Structure 1
Amino acid sequence: MRIPPDHSREREALRTVGVEEELLLVDPRTGRPAPAVELVLAAAASADVAALVPEAARVTHLERESKREQMEVISIPHTSLADLAQSVTAGRALADAAAQQLGLRAVAMATSATAGTTQLTVSGRYSEMEERFQGMMREQLTCGLHVHVGVCDDAEGVAVLDRIRPWLPLVLALSANSPMWNGADSGYASQRYQVWSRWPTAGAYDTFGSSANYHRAVDELLATDVLVDDGMIYFDARLSARYPTVEVRVADVCLEAAHSVAIAGIIRALVTIASHEWRAGFSPDPLPTSVLRLAMWSASRHGVSGPLLNPILGQPCDPDVAMEALLAHIAPALAAAGDLERVSEMIDDVFTNGTGAERQRRALRTRRSARALVEEAIEQTHRPIGPTTSVLDPLPI
């Protein structure tokens, strides 16, 4: 894809960016998810595994998720995507090294390639969610990529949320990596997004206009007593409850670490441009939430192999046209951060070699088994990104 001209503005302080990647734990002999997160976390804490990935302790850590068949890999925040790449690859390596102690592997697939039941992680909160939401919670086994970008305060954060809305379907389309559901091709590029959308607050959100309106909207949702807690505010993007960040939750976990890092760069650029627009007095795009939901559906259904919504015109268009619009929109921020080439190469790779969903389908067609599909996904999960800088610059988000 053609790289837009460099319109970088005067250099400004780069925003911090960090990621949370959810990975599946699988038995490579069968391709089936393995309920072993507690044992994997214990192995990761051992001296033997720590020695295998010595850099991991400085740049990442592992946590449980809602199901015992998955785990979350959390990077520290960085201002450099090269350093973020180190965190992502070290986190994936640590998770996999620990899993291998048990004969398992950690793989970046947003849904399982095989059918089967799942086991709830032991937690009072998760048990309450299962009691309240029943089959939705029992069936939930999806892996996303959550990107945190630093903001000054809630006022800036909500202004950003209001202005990045129309672009989020394109982020989902690029990251789509979950064609499989219950052991068969779902027909969707991101079946994860379809499954996730069943939660009461999940998906596209209205513009808020101010931080007061945002918090009022959240309070009104909590007052219904439908949700267990504010952690279930599952908007496609939200203010983080723990950090001064905007948390964008729309993406599938990506097969390749390089794609996760580039998605983080795209989201940081969207946040940067949105903040500039807010400070310059530009109003958010008035795209109706009902239309945005349809745009998200199209991205989930097709990835980049079918029509997407042009965020500028609000009309369906070819995916390459939509991505050209995205690159043109964020090019100034990407160029200022030194990220334009990395992001452009990732988008080119997706259009040339396919999204994660297309790669999974190709593996299934050529190798004809879910186990073989998982084997190939494991290889792509741990493919090296390439040369990166050796200087880490962790900052508080």
Structure 2
Amino acid sequence: MDQGNTAFILIAAALVLLMTPGLAFFYGGLVKAKSVISMMMMSFGALGLIGVLWVLYGYAIAFPGSSGTLGPWSIDGAAVGLTSVLEPAEGATYPPLAFVAFQATFAIITVALVSGAIADRAKFGAWMIFAGVWATVVYFPVASWVFNFGLADDGSFEYGGWITHGLQDVFGVGAIDFAGGTAVHINAGAAALALALVLGKRVGFQKGVHVPHNPPFVLLGAGLLWFGWFGFNAGSELAADNTAALAFVNTIAAPAAALLAWLLVEKIKDGKPTSVGAASGAVAGLVAITPACGSLDPVWAIVLGLIAGAVCALAIELKYKLGFDDSLDVVGIHLVGGLIGTLYLGFFARGTGLFMGGDASQLIVQAIAAFAVLAYSFVVAFVIGFAIEKTIGFRVKNEDEIAGIDTVVHGEAGYVLEDAKA
């Protein structure tokens, strides 16, 4: 048992878990003051619910071993409740439970990401039902498409889902998704778009009406997300080696470049660079580098960050032109950023990208992976959300939205002044 790698994976898992509270601050600062508790609770609700479901059956669906290479309908019965992974196999370099813990944090943050699209207007109970069902029929299966490794007799991980192993059998190269550009960001972004369409627009939705109530919260959340993202990206190597170091450096370079690009676009377009823009640019760069962090030279990671920062800064305006209310720009940052990072590998992946000594095969498989996940997540999320809306209702009443849903849904206020209690 390699104690160094075991410690590396467990520390990476702790870093990724911190991302969900970080997301709560990031999202919480972006909404109006009377919705901050509701917004942050959707992240913490996902943390509690998905953490339990992952242990009960999520891991068994996401990692069914060799039986799960064809799609989302396999489950390893022996892994239900984690019974089959409690003890490491002989010769294993780290305990299987370390990998289980690491992947659990991915499931949690992915579900929490979706909530940003329905800020200011969603019922907490309806959100929790959606989160549980969507995780079960979308995230857990899609994770198997991308990350499905099985344990070999020597304790190492082998196999691979259809997006990686299956496409390789057909095209000679598999899709590259080092840490979750498809399974996490495109997946969550597509579901966010579906829910934004199901719930409809906020009262008075138009550009400039809904402004962030607490930019310092946004910056704090972005900082926590960036810190946790080192575990997200470098930890996905599952070993403290040179590839992990490359992923770590790229997780500095790409978001730093994206931050600058976003601010430049803001300066040109609106005349002023903003703190929220800096935070959003960094997150856009983090999203884009996620699938690519282990497969790009650092200079090309900077180029990716510049592209992602600029494009995502423009993409968040699409909701006003196309008429969908993605409250906190999950589509403009995570879906668009995830697509950019995933497709960029088709051109610049080391050794296999079109411009890096390869041919068009890498680009083809990247596109298949990206749009397969997008379509599946969008359609299923729309169906789940629509069913909830037409049965128990997903959206709060308009008068509750206007008043602020913190007190209506949770009986709490985000900011209680002493004078107000007197």
Task: Answer whether TM exceeds 0.5 for this pair.
Answer: no
Larger CA Rg, structure 1 vs 2 = 2
What is the TM-score of this pair, normalised by structure 2? 0.30
What is the TM-score of this pair, normalised by structure 1? 0.31
Q: Comparing both structures, which one devotes a greater share of its residues to strand?
A: 1
Q: Comparing both structures, which one devotes a greater share of its residues to helix?
A: 2
